[in-house]
Structure 1
Amino acid sequence: MREAAVRVAAQRPAFAPLAPQAIGRAATLALHDELALSPKPGLVTLVDNGSHEDMDAHTFMRSLFALRGYFVRIAGLGAARAPFEELERCGIEAEARMLAATDGINTHRGAIFTLGLLCASAGAVCSSGDSPTPARLRVAMLEHWGEALAARAHRQSTLPGGIAARRFGLRSASAEAALGFPVLFETALPALQSAVERGLPRQLMLLETLFHVMAVMDDSNLAHRGGLQGLRHAQSVANGYLRAGGAARPDGVAAALEICCDFVSRRLSPGGAADTLAAACLVQRIGTPGLW
């Protein structure tokens, strides 16, 4: 019996716990994954500004470089099981650095919150000697900071997205976090994994995942810019795109480009979906280091 157990243990792949520096680097690369995806309806890419007049890829790159140290720091706080107040303070300081780098333009506020929490969770998981699987990340986040996240979800946000969520009865980003990011773990990551298993090229993997998120997410950025009608239009368009075959069909990219034109004409920008896509890229990068 003992010999059999030894053989099974020997067959398990060795896992070297990720240090905060590696987790932080993965988060920075994940933000670049999201930025580099094109086409991307209404969102800034390396080749166009989408529905935005006040920012472009250079703005995003300045922000991204300003945030590199933040993701390392918050992963370290997670490894130390720091209280949520310390994570939040770290995030507020990161937001100030972002705004200083972008001359006051909000490029990554949502990502600071979402990817920051995931980095902290990864730090906690890896410091225990475990591999940062999606299930372990979600459990760690709720186990260590779930109570504080639930309390945070009841605060009245003064930010545009929070105001729009409250006005239209949508699930805010804070509420999404308090539930353990269900759209990320139950929609985005399964869609990305399915695209990987089907062997889609990287661009199409990410495009497919983005549309899956857009189809179900209460994206308060869409609601802020286009009202409830704008949000429902974006969800309907995304569902129609997926029903027609998604990014894998021969004209998948061309169809996405048409949707880009539609979103720009309506000034729609699914910023929440973009943050969730970046979060999925982060989870994939730390959980499957050799994939990309």
Structure 2
Amino acid sequence: MMAAARQKPQPWCGAPSPQTIGRAATRALYHELALCPKPGLVTLTDNGSHRDMDAQTFMRSLFALRGYFVAIAELGQQNADFAALERCGIQAEAHMLAATGGINTHRGAIFMLGLLCSAAGAVSGSGAPPSPARLRNTLRQRWGDALAARALRAPSLPGGLAAQRHGLRSASQEAALAFPVLFETAVPTLVAGLARGLSPVQARLDTLFHTMAVLDDSNLAHRGGLEGLRHAQQSARGYLAAGGATSPGGMDAAHAMGCDFQVRNLSPGGSADTLAAACWVVQLCSPAP
């Protein structure tokens, strides 16, 4: 019966509140943090390829950001312009840095999940229940022009500079396209994995690797250059071709990849943000009864 319930999640009867939207975002970021093994990334028991942060750093950041996701969902519900969303995100980043002692744990999630929460707020304000298609269409219709203009700005952060240097699609460009990897790869992979009876850990791990295989992850490019990005993508494809998380030895293979990523100083932070966003979409659009 439990497996059947997981395969047929119940939709919302009505539109979720900004508080529900924001809580789902915080919960999704925790699910991403707790996932293990997760090559190169911080988990509850492993720092991955990072020397300046651990799970406690991430938890401090999560507590600092709880109000942000609610606030930006409220802005979306109020039909705020992009400038207001951007100001809210800048304030959230300052809160994050204050909580972590200047360490960037969630800058990408502040941008990506913040935009998604604002889109969910806008959908909720219309009285409609959220769906992946409604969220993506709302991003395009409400803030698509502003996001396209933002993507033309000269990059100043390490990930954007790496994307420009190597001719990759940056996080800003991904947002301007309404997050194609999220909605066309990550969300369908997570939904399909849960529908066929995978545990949440297995489904999330396979979703992470499917995302790594196709995303122009600028964090990987920043830390390992184009060679590091391509190595991570090929490793993810090889992992999936061997059967993924449910294959015999699948977890051991993920652990071994983590050791390889540590040696190469690789951390797929953009893929982790996309996984968290996929967890949020699935929670919000198909919450458990």
- Tell me the TM-score normalized by structure 2: 0.95
Deviations 1:91-139 (A, max 9, x none): 0000000000000000000000000000000000011111110000000
Aligned residue runs from structure 1 range 209-224, under 5 A: 209-224=207-222
Q: Which residue of the partner structure matches residue 250 of structure 1?
A: 248
Amino acid at match of 1:98: M
Verify: 1:131 aligned to 2:129, yes or no. yes
SS of residue paired to 1:46: coil
Shift of 1:86: 0.1
Deviations 1:30-50 (A, max 9, x none): 000100000000000000100
- Counterpart Cα distance in 2 of 1:228 and 1:134: 31
- Counterpart Cα distance in 2 of 1:206 and 1:52: 21
Q: Which residue of the partner structure matches residue 49 of structure 1?
A: 47
Shift of 1:281: 0.6
Q: Percent identity among equivalent residues?
A: 67
- Counterpart Cα distance in 2 of 1:248 and 1:135: 29
Q: Which residue of the partner structure matches residue 7 of structure 2?
A: none
Number of equivalences: 280
Q: Which residue of the partner structure matches residue 146 of structure 1?
A: 144
Shift of 1:231: 0.1
- Counterpart Cα distance in 2 of 1:34 and 1:94: 19
| Pairing partner for 1:37 from 28, 35, 45 | 35
| Bigger Cα Rg | 1
Kept after mapping to 1: 8 A contact 2:11/2:285: no
- Counterpart Cα distance in 2 of 1:60 and 1:209: 21
- Counterpart Cα distance in 2 of 1:240 and 1:14: 38
| Pairing partner for 1:95 from 93, 101, 109 | 93
Amino acid at match of 1:216: V
Shift of 1:14: 6.7
Verify: 1:264 aligned to 2:228, yes or no. no
- Counterpart Cα distance in 1 of 2:101 and 2:115: 25
- Counterpart Cα distance in 2 of 1:200 and 1:58: 29
- Asked which structure has the greater RCO (Cα within 8 Å, sep 6+), the reply is 2
Amino acid at match of 2:164: R
Structure 1: tracts of 5 or more residues without a match: 1-11
- Counterpart Cα distance in 2 of 1:265 and 1:198: 35
- Counterpart Cα distance in 1 of 2:169 and 2:41: 21
Structure 2: tracts of 5 or more residues without a match: 1-9
Shift of 1:202: 1.0
SS of residue paired to 1:170: coil
- Comparing 252-261 with 83-92, greater Cα deviation is found at 252-261
Amino acid at match of 1:289: P
| Pairing partner for 2:18 from 20, 35, 49 | 20
- Counterpart Cα distance in 2 of 1:37 and 1:73: 27
Structure 1 segments (4+ residues) deviating >6 Å: none
- Tell me the TM-score normalized by structure 1: 0.94
Deviations 1:159-199 (A, max 9, x none): 00000000000000000000010000000011101101110
- Counterpart Cα distance in 1 of 2:11 and 2:275: 28
